[in-house]
Amino acid sequence: MKVSIQGVTGSFHEEAAKQYFKGEDIEIVPCSSFDLTLSAVADGTADYAVLAIENARSGSILQNYTLIRESGMKILGEQNLRIIQNLVALRGQTTDAIHTVCSHPIALAQCMDYLKEHPEWTLIESEDTALSAKEISEKNLYGTAAIASAAAAEVYGLEVIASGIETYKQNYTKFLITGHQGLNSGNKMSICFSTKHKSGALAKVLVKLADRNINLSKIQSVPKFNGEWEYMFYCDLETPKDTTSEIICRILRDNTNDLEILGIYKKGDMQYDS
């Protein structure tokens, strides 16, 4: 089984993939961007794709909603991953030797309270946390540290010189597993739709969901690319056992446009720190 991810070996995407497919024999297919991650499944290079969709502190990655919908693939599952950020560098160094820190901009933002304690450091944004660690190792960059996972430090022979430096300790990222497989069964459903551009249109949809005792756990608006400031709404629904995708479509059809079920799957578990 081949699973495409955004990032390289040691990335949080890889960790999420291994946790979701735990017990399976999988081969990771690294990709440099989210669209290429999905393209790897489209062209047969991979069987499934794993994409980050939301961080508990940084919010949603809006472009990935559109990428998944336009790919024609379905959401098959989700994995919630506790993100522990670490300062990693070549072995034998301390924080006093560091003058530059590089990582993905979201990772830098997640560690800003710690980084503010070192105003002398130059912060450099990169495309991936693990890739930053890899470059330090390959280029033998003394004085440069990366913010990355402990797994990345181990893979690339680096040392963790400061662990758990993220500002908020309940720092989770939700990853979606997508593929060509048809709709699954489960207690969670992701849908998207648009509404007429008039007062109360969205409220009617929300009332109909509430009337069926359907918990709307998330709603996210993304502009439609039509130049008229209309929006697609992406929703996560936690569905009662007696509510099927056919029922959802039936109760929403008259009040929505472009209604599409993106996936039916099992809600991901959360394991909170004590």
Length of the chain: 274
Contacts of 97 (CB under 8 A, 6+ apart): 89, 142, 143
Here the tokens at position 237 are: 């629904």
Query: Which one is the CATH code of 86-162: 3.40.50.720, 3.40.190.10, 2.40.30.110, 3.40.50.300?
Result: 3.40.190.10
Higher per-residue pLDDT: 255 or 123 = 123
Q: Do domains 2-82+171-179 and 86-162 have the same CATH topology?
A: yes
| CATH class as words, domain 2-82+171-179 | alpha beta
Residues 195-227 pLDDT 10s: 988 888 899 999 999 998 999 999 999 988 776
CA separation, residue 8 to residues 14, 53, 89, 128, 130 (Å): 8, 18, 17, 8, 6
At residue 272, does pLDDT exceed 70? no
CA separation, residue 126 to residues 32, 101, 157 (Å): 11, 10, 20
pLDDT band at 251 (very low <50, low <70, confident <90, very high): confident
Domain boundaries, the chain: 2-82+171-179, 86-162, 188-265
pLDDT band at 184 (very low <50, low <70, confident <90, very high): confident
Residues 81-126 pLDDT 10s: 999 999 999 999 999 999 999 999 999 999 999 999 999 999 999 9
At residue 264, does pLDDT exceed 90? yes
Query: What's the pLDDT score for residue 274?
Result: 43
Question: Among 186, 177, 152, 3, which Cα is nearest to 83's?
Answer: 152
Query: What's the pLDDT score for residue 188?
Result: 93
Q: Which fold has domain 188-265?
A: Alpha-Beta Plaits (3.30.70)
